[in-house]
Structure 1
């Protein structure tokens, strides 16, 4: 498959327009120099639509489009639980966690940990997040993105890596979060239009192969021919049970992973921290929750269709690029732009978060405590470029040998998420939790997860996350009680925080829950 001159022209126009719009929205008024709040938090002026769109654009990248489609090919609709359960998680975070963060006026997650615990917790977790974002998340997005570009255009993997890195830096580095967030509405529209087009054509091809026509007919054929691909709750006898262990996707460790990703992850929460107000942030979160309900149509369904159309693929992660081959020339440029949009927005968001944490939690606190606002912005831009360069260099050695990259990423990050969630939840809701107990939880999470991984390799990682989370909570409580500590002077007083939400937010939340009840009832 190759791009026609029309496709190339369409894609080139997209690239030029995106960079131009990003630089235009990033401009400052005459006489005003961009400061750290402008650069890292978009001047705390983001509207709800930008927040909602940016949350999804940051989340949906090659990791989801390529990786989750690959899991849809291998497992089926069950992998959509990551998307659908995230919708509920977002609403919980908007109502109960976000008010605490905005009340504290923080810029980064490590900053909150220092306010609640001490500087040691801030530093340890800042270093951890920098390493995770650079060597796992950023590399995964780059590698899977370059694989997709290679499959569609034949471009060598290294050139794909370099193109994605340069393009993402080009449109995000000048304006920071504002450039990323305000252009993400374009990225999301492209993502949805292009993704739905691929899904439609894949289903239509299934129908055509059966002598019929239409996407709805193709979907009906899938339901009849591969009903096992629609199982949301896998039976223990299923070969993929270790990846999606039955009822645990509803009541187990998946909640811990979702809370960590959507609630305590700088890469995601930075958008809500940049909101005009709490109410605006909550409206953006509700918007994002409904977009999450839609995402399986874009990131899972093509993989499921590929299981019928191309059952002999060498690797599951080839599923989405194969389905893109169904797009006719002339429209392929749009769907290719949609894929690159998803990748680029995630890369831009990731490097902005890396630069934010390094600048605000490492550089300004430990290296140059007297840094000017201008210096912080310069350091942030430099770190963004450096992180991208490192990710380009290490992407292939780290991820080149994994057939289902999405599952690898979830499994690896599952070593750390139990400790992260326990630290934040105890910090929120237990006034006696100490800095020592937080550090114990962070270290225990990695050690216990690694032991469980090596000693019980057949134990599903989602269940492992849930068990290790409970052990981290228990260890934190024991350490605190043995120290005989009382209420901490920096404890959070929840009676000072307003958790009430608007009527519209409550109605929208109810709608999400009802939709999910129907979905899981139909495809239990």
Structure 2
């Protein structure tokens, strides 16, 4: 990177850390540190809700996912608007009026202390793993740009964010989220403009869409009903609905956002803001990944985007790598010619000629992908990791190699902004649940606010280090956007089931909720281990098992605790 790019990144990092620490003066009380005194406006809460979900995984993993698989991932979010409407009518008023600090605190009032503790424990475990993946995404960027090891970049990112989160609490998290969302939107807009400007002369945006569509990269609705397919209309509407209900309704990192709002109505408005903006924003990010695919039709991409693994293969298989590279270069040249001919045929030739050109283009695309797959297979063998993929390296490689001076720094700052906004929110939520649900409830129920704030800061530091350790192992697990949602799907459906029992089953008891939750987690593990069911359906399975088991066990209890809110 040039010194201008470095200046952009450094100025951003220094400012955001300073701004977060500056807000620590508002965090001396427990309610101020963990809930910002329930005083934040709806638009700030709404942006914070979006920023918490819009991690660097979204920019790095989703664009890489779109490069490899097209727009199909957008179906993941089709259940989101319905989930937000349901939560606005149920979870927001329940939690807000109960004056709780955490979603799990409410469960003790409804059931008992052990149900609260168990759900909080599973949240801590799932979010601790999830935030590790969130930290891993920007570490990929830094390792490419700086040539550092991923371990060094993981701790640089994770501990920097931990610093201002420890100091400022949720107040710092929310207001830095607002500023970071502005940087993200600007960065994405500039990125799209630069990609389009780098297409060859004579290739317009509409031509790019034709090329992407012919290669199957523009599918946004797959109406097949299959439990084995990860992204279909039905997995998004059903599995995605359950996941979004779980994430925004049961996950403390999101519940804590709307508990900071000034009123129930402002909390509802903040969620509806995300419901209407999230899908178009995700579509835009996926489109950038698709356009990067089109760009690489005319500019030869690396055989293996992960530079370290490419060097390993080249070093250990020199002759094979040279032969494969020559084959790859020839396949790319053939694909480029076929793509250009297809664009010309679309504009100038008859329908039959365009169909022939399309067939030639698709044949060249398949031949190219076959050669690239050989390279990835060699990387899998040399790395010893059969699940190796380089999709997380596609977008950062493109940014560093082809973006102009200054824009590289801006895009990297946007990725940092996405990462830090999510990391800080998750760490703050982990600290809140650790202090309120575990420490204050079981170890020291009576202490001064200053003591709990101190413990909250120490908990933030602990989870920051834990997440960094998880991040060291995350980049080898596949597409980061899928990894984080797989982690969540092991727990989310079952947690949702507990809250369904609390809200919708008057006769549900603590014993039913506790054992239902345990059996729900076990059922998801069995489904993941012994079936080919796609991960989005885990949320449905977990929720269904908890509700059914919890209801049946509750009916065997002689005394049913009255439902209380």
| TM-score in terms of structure 2 length | 0.79
Matches within 5 A, 1:114-193: 114-134=108-128, 136-193=129-186
For the Cα contact (< 8 Å) 2:130–2:488, is it kept in 1?
A: no
For the Cα contact (< 8 Å) 1:234–1:241, is it kept in 2?
A: no
Matches of 1:231 and 1:346, distance apart in 2 = 26
Corresponding position: 1:232 with 2:254? no
For the Cα contact (< 8 Å) 2:217–2:290, is it kept in 1?
A: no
Corresponding position: 1:442 with 2:517? yes
For the Cα contact (< 8 Å) 1:66–1:299, is it kept in 2?
A: no
Aligned to 1:469: 543
Compute the displacement of 1:224 (Å): 4.3
Aligned to 2:235: 248
User: Aligned in 2, Cα 1:476/1:137: closer, same or farther, shift over 3 Å?
Assistant: same
Corresponding position: 1:375 with 2:375? no
Structure 1, unaligned stretches of length 5 or more?
A: 493-524
Matches of 1:43 and 1:18, distance apart in 2 = 22
User: Aligned in 2, Cα 1:441/1:218: closer, same or farther, shift over 3 Å?
Assistant: farther
Aligned to 2:422: 346
Aligned to 1:301: 287
Matches of 1:307 and 1:466, distance apart in 2 = 34
Corresponding position: 1:80 with 2:80? no
Matches of 2:454 and 2:550, distance apart in 1 = 39
For the Cα contact (< 8 Å) 1:245–1:463, is it kept in 2?
A: no
Residues 82-130 of structure 1: per-residue CA shift (max 9 Å, x gap): 3453244223312332011111111101101111111011111222222
Compute the displacement of 1:163 (Å): 1.6
For the Cα contact (< 8 Å) 2:34–2:170, is it kept in 1?
A: yes
Residues 19-62 of structure 1: per-residue CA shift (max 9 Å, x gap): 2322334424xxxx711101000111111111011111111112
RMSD between superposed Cα atoms in Å? 2.3
Matches of 2:413 and 2:75, distance apart in 1 = 27
Aligned length: 475
Matches of 1:195 and 1:88, distance apart in 2 = 27
Matches within 5 A, 1:346-365: 346-365=422-441
Question: Does the residue aligned with 2:472 lie in a helix, a strand or coil?
Answer: helix
Matches of 2:520 and 2:67, distance apart in 1 = 31
Matches of 1:159 and 1:437, distance apart in 2 = 46
For the Cα contact (< 8 Å) 1:245–1:460, is it kept in 2?
A: no
User: Aligned in 2, Cα 1:229/1:298: closer, same or farther, shift over 3 Å?
Assistant: closer
Aligned to 1:62: 56
For the Cα contact (< 8 Å) 2:38–2:262, is it kept in 1?
A: yes
Corresponding position: 1:212 with 2:196? no
Which of 323-332 and 50-59 deviates more?
323-332
Compute the displacement of 1:388 (Å): 0.9
Which of 151-160 and 216-225 deviates more?
216-225
Aligned to 1:18: 16
Corresponding position: 1:317 with 2:392? yes
For the Cα contact (< 8 Å) 1:202–1:323, is it kept in 2?
A: no
Matches of 1:370 and 1:490, distance apart in 2 = 27
Which of 279-288 and 257-266 deviates more?
279-288
Residues 309-331 of structure 1: per-residue CA shift (max 9 Å, x gap): 44755522222213323321112
Compute the displacement of 1:274 (Å): 0.9
Matches of 2:252 and 2:207, distance apart in 1 = 40
Aligned to 1:516: none
Residues 171-223 of structure 1: per-residue CA shift (max 9 Å, x gap): 22211000110121110011111123223333443xx236334xx43553345
Matches of 2:207 and 2:277, distance apart in 1 = 24
Aligned to 1:9: 7
Aligned to 1:409: 484
Aligned to 2:564: 491
Residues 291-313 of structure 1: per-residue CA shift (max 9 Å, x gap): 31332244322322333344755
For the Cα contact (< 8 Å) 2:493–2:538, is it kept in 1?
A: no
Corresponding position: 1:422 with 2:413? no
| TM-score in terms of structure 1 length | 0.85
Corresponding position: 1:384 with 2:460? yes
Matches within 5 A, 1:320-339: 320-325=395-400, 326-339=402-415
Aligned to 1:481: 555
Compute the displacement of 1:382 (Å): 0.8
Which of 385-394 and 335-344 deviates more?
385-394
Aligned to 2:256: 270
Question: Does the residue aligned with 1:107 lie in a helix, a strand or coil?
Answer: coil
For the Cα contact (< 8 Å) 1:47–1:280, is it kept in 2?
A: yes
For the Cα contact (< 8 Å) 2:77–2:236, is it kept in 1?
A: no
Residues 210-266 of structure 1: per-residue CA shift (max 9 Å, x gap): 6334xx4355334543345323226479xx96222452322x222111111111110
